[in-house]
């Protein structure tokens, strides 16, 4: 399942919401795998994930796109869908193209 909490406005809690939902999935369904896709050049999600990774979740991963494009997401997400039960995508407010994709 691919989930993204997104909005065209900045600073409204997109990253925190994706992060918290991802951890909620990992905690509540430990047999399921979770991937965070960081498609925001600020890399906020990656930084938060980096601080928490050592908490012992083995099926919780992060992948970061530099200069993410809609084409990159469209090409890559279907492949990740075969590997992970839940995918949470964090997209920047101002990146129209990945946001729409």
Regarding 50 and contact with ligand ATP (CB under 6 A), the answer is no
Number of Cβ within a 10 Å radius of residue 25: 19
Please select the residue that binds ligand ATP; options are 15, 33, 62, 95, rule is CB under 6 A: 15
Q: How buried is residue 69: exposed, middle or buried, by Cβ count under 10 Å (0-12/13-18/19+)?
A: middle
Contact flags string 10-29 toward Mg ion, x per CB under 5 A = ----xx--------------
- Residue 36 or 84: which CB sits closer to Mg ion? 36
**Six token digits for residue 52:** 């928490």
- Residue 30 or 50: which CB sits closer to ligand ATP? 50
Regarding 14 and contact with ligand ATP (CB under 6 A), the answer is yes
Asked whether the beta carbons of 95 and 68 are under 8 A apart, the reply is yes
CB of 91 to ligand ATP, least distance (A): 9
Number of Cβ within a 10 Å radius of residue 75: 10
Regarding 64 and contact with ligand ATP (CB under 6 A), the answer is no
DSSP three-state, residue 61: strand
Q: Give contact residues for Mg ion (rule: CB under 5 A).
A: 14-15, 44
């Amino acid at each position: 399942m691919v989930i993204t909490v997104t909005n065209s406005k900045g600073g409204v809690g997109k990253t925190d919401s994706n992060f918290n939902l991802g951890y909620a999935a990992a905690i509540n369904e430990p047999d399921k795998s979770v991937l965070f896709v960081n498609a925001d050049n600020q890399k906020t999600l990656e930084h938060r994930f980096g601080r928490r990774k050592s908490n012992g979740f083995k099926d919780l991963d992060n992948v970061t796109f530099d200069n993410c494009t809609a084409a990159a997401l469209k090409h890559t997400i279907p492949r990740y869908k075969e590997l992970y039960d839940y995918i949470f995508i964090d997209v920047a407010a101002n990146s129209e193209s990945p946001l729409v994709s």
